Structure 1
Amino acid sequence: MNKAVGVTVMSYNIHHGVGVDDQLSLQRIADVIRDSGAEIVALQEVDRFYGDRSEYKDQAAELAVLLGYHYAYGSNLDLGPEEGRADNRQYGTAILSKHPIIRHENILLSSFEDEPRGALHAIVNLRDVHMNVYNTHLGLDTTSRTVQAQEIIDLATSAQGPKILMGDFNAEPDSPELQLLLNSGLFVNSFQGIEDAYTFPFSNPPEIIDYILTSPTVQHSNQQVIRTDASDHLPIAVDLAFK
């Protein structure tokens, strides 16, 4: 029998690096990731040359440098540059990985609201196991999320190898859109049965809207919600093992 391959993964809506104290600090976000030991991280609400609120930084690239990780970025909102600047203003998701990213693609999902949504898909080489890592930030209404969830199922169905779907789903555990994902046969909830998995807003959060789903054959342990005020969401992390 092959030895199980283990990895710690995290999902974190970073609120473009602004904490509950209204201070912008990517170093603080990097410290949270580093302290968790997470080797593959799905980030939502990531700016790239977006504006003054994030000092026009390429946040995914900067976090990758701070951690010494590889990264992939997916822009769901892509606006023309501000006057006097050359770079498009972008907002979306990122995947950071201690392990090599073989390739990646950002797929725009159907959106029925002002903010476009997408699914960032990266294939990560984890000690010769090629993992499909998906990162998404779903819409704000049930109709949008249900269509987007089905589109993610359609994308993941054709992918070979183990799958991890992480992100801010904007949906509670009993929502039909989450059940659609779980009933697809592709995913299970790594926090199933964990009582205190509340992530938003950060202080005594009443909502569970951030998730790490995996292929059914993947084993889960050491599920944790990490207490930090570096964003308005709390990050979640879990240890995974698969063969």
Structure 2
Amino acid sequence: MILVASYNMRKAIGTDRRRRPDRTIEVLNELDADVVALQEADRRFGARMSALPVHMIEEHSDYKPVPFEARSGSLGWHGNALLVRKSVEIIHKEIVHLPSLEPRGAVMAEVRVGGVDLRVVGMHLDLSGLWRRRQAHAILAHLAGRDGDPEAPTVLMGDLNEWSAHGGCLRDFAHHHRFAACGRSFHSRRPIAQLDRIMVSKELEILESGAHRSVAARRASDHLPIWARVKPA
């Protein structure tokens, strides 16, 4: 079994408006996932340095970042990052450029978890429904156009910013992927919306899934992290 998770960490700013990367690390340790997709992992302005210092990840968790090296000091690409357990082998990684009015992007990695090869995409889509659908199409086209095994088990996850229950970009992703029933994740203090999603290709079976509702998670960000336990179908 493989445990994957997605977390909009809000630049490590909690619901008390304090920047506390140590709380983010605490939540990540609670998740204890094999692969985590992070959104808003970098600061928004200036040099856009990582809001989660790499030395803290190395010293206080069992994770390591997938090294996209897109911008010096950043953890990922336009705030999107992937963390994997230190025992996980990183086979390939790349950034995915998305059409957008404001800076948006996605990140992708191929990893080996316990002998299973897995393709993972992390994303944070636009606030505009039109641009979300364009970005969904771009991600799906990128996956379809890649060299390698087209049947590779694939997990897509992140903050889709989609308030609709079934429409918009969800309809586009649903053509080739199934959604894990993670439940509502926003706002962390009183969840009312399923903005964060985990989707898997037909090569994977979803065993269980949910939103992580610990005391630390309700304080560390305005989003709860979501998780899914999967295995090859």
Classify the TM-score, shorter chain. Answer: 0.7 to 0.9
| In the alignment, structure 1 residue 242 sits paired with structure 2 residue 232 | yes
**RMSD, aligned α-carbons:** 2.6
- Identity across matched positions, percent: 28
Structure 2 residue matching 1:47: 3-state secondary structure: coil
Structure 1-normalised TM-score? Answer: 0.81
Q: Which residue of 1 aligns with 2:20?
A: 25
Change (3 A) 1:39 1:70: same
Q: Which residue of 2 aligns with 1:83?
A: none
Q: Which residue of 1 aligns with 2:35?
A: 40
Structure 2 residue matching 1:46: 3-state secondary structure: coil
For 2:107, give the aligned amino acid.
L
Structure 2-normalised TM-score? Answer: 0.84
| In the alignment, structure 1 residue 211 sits paired with structure 2 residue 197 | yes
Counterpart among 207, 210, 213 of residue 221 in structure 1? 207
Structure 1 unaligned runs (5+)?
1-5, 79-85
Q: Which residue of 2 aligns with 1:82?
A: none
Q: Which residue of 1 aligns with 2:184?
A: 198
Change (3 A) 1:75 1:242: same
Structure 2 residue matching 1:140: 3-state secondary structure: coil
Counterparts of 1:61-72 in structure 2, within 5 Å, are: 61-62=54-55, 64-65=57-58, 66-72=60-66
Q: Which residue of 2 aligns with 1:102?
A: 91
Deviation (angstroms), 1:87: 6.2
1:116 and 1:57 map into 2 onto residues whose CA distance is 16
When the two structures are aligned, how many residues end up with a matched partner? 220
- Answer whether contact 1:71 1:95 (CA < 8 A) is retained: yes
| In the alignment, structure 1 residue 9 sits paired with structure 2 residue 19 | no
Deviations 1:119-153 (A, max 9, x none): 10111111232211000000011110011001111
Q: Work out which of the two has the higher radius of gyration on C-alpha atoms and give 1 or 2.
A: 1
- Answer whether contact 1:75 1:92 (CA < 8 A) is retained: no
Deviation (angstroms), 1:176: 2.2
2:53 and 2:198 map into 1 onto residues whose CA distance is 20
Deviation (angstroms), 1:117: 1.1
